[in-house]
């Protein structure tokens, strides 16, 4: 019978005997950022991977929203206006992901860019940029 090296030793050596001993692969930072858009698409904020001390800023939020529960409440307050989301691309540098996407909303399609900072497998910062004119200007 062949003995296998313990996983911790293999990770220190940066080698692996096979894929079965490495365990599940943690999500990439782009996959973690995607959980935010998926939450809006499904209108289910439980899908997003947020850190307890996450904060959020958007053009129409009058203050920085701080803390997981407050961010989830903010998301729930705007979700009814979303019909769908469309991912265009991610740009990654270090622990930052800039996501270019479109929000298909009750007010029309709104191009957006959201910058996420990901740490320890969760979103810790959310800074959104979009043109709010379709929302605030009414005919």
Domain boundaries, the chain: 27-136
pLDDT tens column, 37-82? 999 999 999 999 999 999 999 887 778 999 999 999 999 999 999 9
* pTM of structure: 0.79
Nearest residue to 29 via CA among 133, 123, 139, 137: 123
Task: Find residue 104's DSSP bridge partners.
Answer: 84, 109
- Assigned CATH class of 27-136: alpha beta
pLDDT band at 134 (very low <50, low <70, confident <90, very high): confident
Helix (H) / strand (E) element for 29: namely: helix 29-42
pLDDT at 12 over 80: no
Report d(CA 86, CA 14) in Å as an integer: 37
Exposed / middle / buried, residue 114 (Cβ in 10 Å: 0-12, 13-18, 19+):
buried
């Amino acid at each position: 019978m062949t003995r296998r090296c313990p996983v911790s030793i293999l990770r220190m050596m940066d080698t692996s005997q096979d894929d079965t001993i490495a365990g599940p692969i943690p999500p990439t930072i782009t996959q973690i950022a995607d959980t935010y858009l998926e939450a809006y698409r499904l209108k289910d904020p439980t899908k997003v991977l947020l850190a307890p001390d996450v904060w959020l800023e958007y053009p129409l939020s009058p203050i920085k929203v701080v803390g997981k529960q407050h961010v989830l409440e903010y998301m729930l307050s705007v979700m009814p206006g979303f019909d769908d989301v469309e991912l265009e691309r991610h740009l990654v540098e270090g622990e930052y992901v800039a996501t270019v996407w479109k929000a298909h909303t009750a007010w029309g399609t709104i191009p957006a860019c959201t910058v996420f900072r990901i740490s320890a497998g969760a979103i810790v910062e959310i800074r959104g940029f979009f043109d709010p004119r379709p929302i605030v200007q009414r005919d």
